[in-house]
Amino acid sequence: MTHKRTISVLLAIFFIKSFAILFGMSIPLHMVMGSVAGILSVAHICVNRQWIASIRKAWKEGKLTQKTKWQYRVDLVLVLSWSICIFSGILIGFSSIIYTLAERKDLFFFFVIHLFSAMLCLVLVLIHIIQHLNQIKAYFKKKQQTYDC
């Protein structure tokens, strides 16, 4: 269970740090932060694969609450928007690929897609955290009780 929390905390740190480009972070550092966040995202999904499998099974059987369906939908849109953000970032970062695929040197379209998907990810991550707020509170309450003894 500890590795899940460690991955989640590291993911949050690198995700937030990748937004520092808006405050003057260098592009190469932004690319590193985003890449690490992308790798940690995959790890986050992998360590939660049991939950994902149980949700899919319960959905087919019609046993999901509306709250859980909402959480799952948010997670799916988050994965999609994060994938778009990463892919557009790769295309921007390696502009020679764009020249070959799109036969154009104007990266503005990819910047807009990258920025829009990043902002959508930020909103969805906040929603995701709010959805898990009770679990987060319980974890910190348990930690505080351990230190109080």
What is the Cα 26 distance to its own chain's centre? 21
Query: What average pLDDT does range 122-143 have in this prediction?
Result: 86
20 lies in which domain range? 1-47
Counting Cβ atoms within 10 Å, is residue 107 exposed (0-12), middle (13-18) or buried (19+)? middle
Question: What was the pLDDT predicted at 40?
Answer: 92
Looking at the chain, the whole-number percentage of residues with pLDDT higher than 90 is 21
- Two tokens at 78? 């988050």
pLDDT in tens, 11-29: 888 888 888 887 888 888 8
| Residue 112 predicted with pLDDT over 80 | yes
67: amino acid identity, one letter: K
**Residue 35 within any structural domain of the chain:** yes
Does residue 18 fall inside a structural domain?
yes
Q: Supply the pLDDT for residue 101.
A: 64
Residue 7: inside a domain: yes
Please give the mean pLDDT across all residues of the chain. Answer: 84
- pLDDT-based confidence at residue 115 (cuts at 50, 70, 90): very high
In a domain, 6, yes or no: yes
| 24-57: pLDDT as tens digits | 888 888 888 888 998 999 998 899 888 888 888 8
* pTM for the whole structure: 0.78
- 104 has pLDDT over 70: no
Does residue 73 sit within a domain?
no
Place of tokens 């994965």: 79
**In the numeric block, which tokens belong to residue 73?**
């939908």
CA 112/CA 38 separation, integer angstroms: 19
CB 6 within 8 A of CB 43: no
Comparing 52-56, 82-86, 92-96, the range with the smallest average pLDDT is: 92-96
pLDDT of residue 120: 96
Q: Has residue 1 been placed in a domain? A: yes
pLDDT of residue 114: 92
Give whole-number Cα distances, 75 to 49, 85, 127, in Å.
12, 15, 9
The answer to whether residue 61 is domain-embedded is no
> 28: helix, coil or strand?
helix
The count of domains in the chain is 1
For residue 26, is it within any domain?
yes
Give the rounded distance of the alpha carbon of 106 from its chain centre.
28
The two three-digit tokens of residue 33, written as one number? 């932060």
